[in-house]
Amino acid sequence: MKKYFKPGIFILSTIPFLFIFYKIYFNKLGPEPVKEITHFTGEWTLIFICLTLSMSPLKRFTNLSVWTSFRRMLGLFIFFYATLHFLTYIGLDYRFDWNPIFDDVIKKKYVLIGFAAWVLLVPLAITSSQKMMKLLRNNWKRIHRLIYAIAIFGSLHYIWLSKTIFFKPLIYFIIIIVLLLLRIKINRKELNYG
Ligand code: HEM
């Protein structure tokens, strides 16, 4: 049974991509197609961040280790959707015109923090394999703690670009803070019980 879960989660995780691909292909993006793709991919990046951070708490609460076996795949989907989001911005919005992109990164704090979140995702994606995990040993855990900073950066990016915290940016912010607090609690318990 367990062996069917992973392919199932993989297929489910590709649905947002297939959905936006369908909308692009059949011209169903509405009057502002680039904005629509940016918003869609940005929100799904944040959803995958929340899903990835939920796996350890779910393992704790249900006593089922299967949850954490999805973590790596979900983490790679964060990188996948964040990269689509980033490529939409640099490729479709700015047509790879680097000067205004560079200007945006240094002048708009929400672009800067979004960019920082994407940059931090790169080492996580590169070191995601079992081989890298063995090679890096304890450093692997340290590198992968970057996900906490990425989650906070992603959430701040959404709050800053929305200009107001109400309402969806606040919901994501609360979910992320709760998930991070649960992580701290789990890590402490693991330390106490060795
Ligand atoms: C982990 C990385 C990131 C996350 C989680 C993220 C998340 C989001 C979210 C949730 C939105 C708004 C979606 C909505 O309105 O429904 C958004 C919009 C946007 N993001 Fe990101 N983002 C990330 C990285 C980036 C990067 C690297 C860039 C560019 C350098 C970027 C540029 C933008 C822009 C330009 C918008 C649209 C702003 C507007 O409404 O005009 N983001 N992002």
Pocket, ligand 1, Cβ cutoff 6 A: 38-39, 42-43, 45-46, 82, 85-86, 89, 111, 114-115, 117-118, 150, 154, 157-158, 161
What pLDDT does residue 93 have? Answer: 95
* Closest C-alpha to ligand 1, atom 15: 39
Ligand 1 center from residue 62 Cα (angstroms) = 33
Provide the b/e sequence for 87-114 (b: ≥16 CB within 10 Å): ebbeeebeeeeeeebeebeeeeebbbbb
Ligand 1 center from residue 44 Cα (angstroms) = 10
Ligand 1 center from residue 23 Cα (angstroms) = 19
User: What are the CA-CA distances from residue 25 to residues 33, 37, 38, 39, 169 (Å)?
Assistant: 12, 12, 16, 18, 29
Number of domains in the chain: 1
Considering just the CA atoms, what is the radius of gyration of the chain in Å? 18
Alpha-carbon torsion (11, 18, 126, 174), positive or negative: negative
Report whether 45 contacts 82 (CB < 8 A): yes
Q: What is the pLDDT of residues 61-86, one digit of tens each?
A: 999 999 999 999 999 999 999 999 99
Per-position pLDDT tens, the chain of length 194? 667 899 999 999 999 999 999 999 999 999 999 999 999 999 999 999 999 999 999 998 999 999 999 999 999 999 999 999 999 999 999 999 999 999 999 999 999 999 999 999 999 999 999 999 999 988 999 999 999 999 999 999 999 999 887 889 999 999 999 999 998 877 776 666 54
Angle at which helices 109-126 and 71-87 cross, to 10°: 140
Ligand 1 center from residue 85 Cα (angstroms) = 7
* Closest C-alpha to ligand 1, atom 36: 38
What pLDDT does residue 194 have? Answer: 45
| Domain CATH code at residue 109 | 1.20.120
Residue identified by tokens 């949850």 is: 67
Give the whole-angstrom CA distance, residue 176 versus residue 90: 27
Share of the chain above pLDDT 90, in %: 85
**Domain range for 118:** 2-192
Phi and psi at residue 95, in whole multiples of 5°?
A: 45, 45
* Closest C-alpha to ligand 1, atom 13: 39
Give the whole-angstrom CA distance, residue 42 versus residue 157: 10
Q: Is the pTM above the cut of 0.85?
A: yes
Ligand 1 nearest-atom number relative to CA 169: 10
